[in-house]
Amino acid sequence: MGLALAAKKSNSRRRIFLITGDGELAEGSNWEAALAAAHYELDNLIIINDKNNLQLAGPTREIMNTDPLAEKWKAFGMTVTECQGNDMASVVALWKGCSRRVNLTSLLPTPPKAPVFPLSRGARNGTTGYRKATRLNWHWRN
């Protein structure tokens, strides 16, 4: 967020891409930054929110539900666009299509239907269920 503010103050034409995850958004500092981005009208800031429904300790719905994310970003005056997270062509097309000097933008890549990396999607061995027994160390396996 600070880079976007510095670029705007120096009249730079740069766009700043900020990548965050839905689990990370359980922290208040992220929403303070979103509030500042709206206040300073950082129209050069593009937030890519990897909405994989996970955070360090488990599924976001169980730990700290951050949904509905699109409505939260819109409340800060952002234009929200959603795409399929494993379709890089659509992600790149969205990046290129982001408005310049119009408004804040938040992209919400959604998780793929079939997990690309099972551990990053909360699944084990191709299943979709999250096993509570692996809650503390699921992210260190494989």
Question: Could you tell me the CATH number of the domain that includes residue 19?
Answer: 3.40.50.970
Confidence of residue 107 (pLDDT cuts 50, 70, 90): low
Strand-by-strand arrangement of the 16-21 sheet: 16-21, 45-50, 105-110, 79-84
Question: Does residue 133 lie in a domain region?
Answer: no
- The DSSP code for 49 is E
Question: Does residue 123 lie in a domain region?
Answer: no
Question: Does residue 99 lie in a domain region?
Answer: yes
Which residue range forms the structural domain that includes residue 100? 2-112
Rg over alpha carbons for the chain, rounded to the nearest Å, is 16
Q: Provide the number of structural domains found in the chain.
A: 1
Per the listing, tokens 């900020």 go with 18
Question: Does residue 25 lie in a domain region?
Answer: yes
- Least Cα distance to 71 among 44, 41, 106, 45 occurs for 106
Convert the pLDDT of each residue in 7-41 to its tens digit: 999 999 998 888 888 889 999 999 999 999 999 99
Helix then strand then coil, in percent of the chain rounded to 5, is 40, 20, 40
Convert the pLDDT of each residue in 30-86 to its tens digit: 999 999 999 999 988 888 888 888 888 888 889 999 889 888 988 988 888 877 777
CA–CA separation, 124 and 47 (whole Å): 29
Q: What CA dihedral angle connects 98, 54, 39 and 83, to 10 degrees?
A: 20
CA–CA separation, 75 and 78 (whole Å): 7
Say which amino acid occupies 120: S
Question: Does residue 137 lie in a domain region?
Answer: no
